[in-house]
């Protein structure tokens, strides 16, 4: 057995173990079934099964020899010292982490749609993207698409927000015909 195949498939074995654990935990969700409605365990189960499928595929690909050598951290460690160092932006990284934490804190207060809209706008500006029209149009489109998917098709209960912020969620719902 090739050690390169084992080494390159190791992360996928870990991912498969994590998927198995998550699947076990999702199966513990208790709820009252409603006819014709998806349960709260449907989407997490679908995502976990997709994750497990990708892991199995990558494991089989590694052992079938479709990957000649391990890729990842080894290439970083074996780089040529004469190459110029890559630019790093630690303040941007910290800003992104703070932005995600703030998003998680305020999503219940100002609602999913408004907080996600503001998060997308702020994240793109933080990432130094400066095409203002694209930022605002993309963020608006992403929110409308999310609302359409989650409020009209998947029927997922999103945080509406506290008054007066819940009016934004109500406005979007009415715009989408709900």
Looking at the fold, whether 13 and 44 belong to one and the same domain comes out as yes
Looking at the fold, whether 67 and 110 belong to one and the same domain comes out as no
Looking at the fold, whether 95 and 146 belong to one and the same domain comes out as yes
Torsion over CA of 112, 135, 101 and 164, rounded to 10 degrees? -40
pTM over 0.85: no
pLDDT given at position 153: 78
Residue 17 CA neighbour count, 13 Å, CB half = 6
Structural domain span for residue 141: 90-175
Last residue of a domain, one of 31, 55, 77: 77
Per the document, the length of the chain is: 178
Per-residue pLDDT 10s for the chain (178 aa) are: 567 778 888 999 999 999 999 999 999 888 888 888 878 888 899 999 999 999 999 999 988 876 555 556 656 566 566 667 778 888 999 999 999 999 999 999 999 999 999 999 999 999 999 999 999 999 999 999 999 888 887 777 888 899 999 999 889 888 888 7
Give domain status of residue 34, yes or no. Answer: yes
């Amino acid at each position: 057995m090739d050690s390169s195949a084992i080494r390159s498939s190791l992360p996928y074995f870990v991912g498969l173990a994590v998927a198995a654990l998550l699947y076990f935990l999702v199966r513990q969700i208790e709820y009252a079934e409603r006819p014709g409605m998806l349960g709260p365990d449907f989407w997490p189960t679908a995502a976990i099964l997709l994750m497990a499928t990708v892991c199995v595929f990558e494991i089989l690909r590694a052992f079938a020899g479709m990957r000649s050598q391990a890729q990842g951290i080894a290439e970083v460690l074996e780089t040529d010292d004469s190459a110029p160092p890559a630019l790093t932006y630690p303040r941007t990284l910290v800003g992104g982490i703070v932005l995600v934490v703030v998003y998680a804190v305020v999503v219940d207060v100002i609602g999913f749609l408004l907080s996600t809209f503001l998060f997308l706008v702020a994240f793109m500006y933080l990432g130094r993207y400066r095409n203002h029209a694209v930022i605002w149009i993309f963020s608006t489109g992403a929110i409308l698409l999310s609302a359409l998917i989650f409020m009209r098709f998947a029927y997922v209960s999103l945080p509406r927000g506290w008054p007066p912020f819940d009016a934004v969620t109500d406005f979007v719902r009415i715009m989408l015909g709900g």
